[in-house]
Structure 1
Amino acid sequence: MSTNPFEDNDGIYHALINEEGQYSLWPSFVDVPAGWTIELESVSRQQALDHIEENWTDMRPASLVRAMAEAGRN
């Protein structure tokens, strides 16, 4: 029986971010997918989750934030 690598409390994780400002918890042994970069590298699961919670304060994609700001100016 295999376990989910995204839920391993003893695992090492990265906090990833994409160009839309969205975050992802990512197991360190898995290749980072295209379009994502490591923002916080090789920390405990809880440290990565804390980082994401502290920094991802607006769930809207950056493109939506820009579009809404532009619409508000017009």
Structure 2
Amino acid sequence: MNGEMQYRVVVNHEDQHSIWPQDRDNPPGWTDEGFRGSKDECLAHIAEVWTDITPRSVREALAHRQS
């Protein structure tokens, strides 16, 4: 590596995404999403895959109300 800090994309139970330093344990409640890279690469990945930022619990409540 070129010395640039490396990150990984993490996700929580609400399907919210964030980046986390690759060399640190995940924060409680967050799991690896599978993507790793530079900060800019991780943020670009999140922008591509996390298109609906509504938390999962809200989406499920809304879907339940509509059915």
What's the TM-score, normalizing by structure 1? 0.77
**Structure with the greater alpha carbon radius of gyration:** 1
Runs of 4+ in 1 over 4 A off after TM superposition: none
Correspondent of 2:40 among 38, 41, 46: 46
Matched pairs, number = 64
Please report the RMSD computed on the Cα atoms of aligned residues, expressed in angstroms: 1.3
For residues 23-62 of structure 1, the aligned pairs below 5 Å read: 23-62=17-56
Indicate how the Cα distance of structure 1 residues 40 and 47 shifts in structure 2: closer, same or farther if over 3 A, else same: farther
Q: Deviations over 1:4-48 (max 9, x none)?
A: xxxxxx310011011211001111122201211111344111111
Q: Does 1:70 align with 2:64?
A: yes
Q: Does 1:21 align with 2:24?
A: no
1:40–1:48 CA contact under 8 A, matched in 2: no
Q: Distance in 2 between matches of 1:63 and 1:41?
A: 24
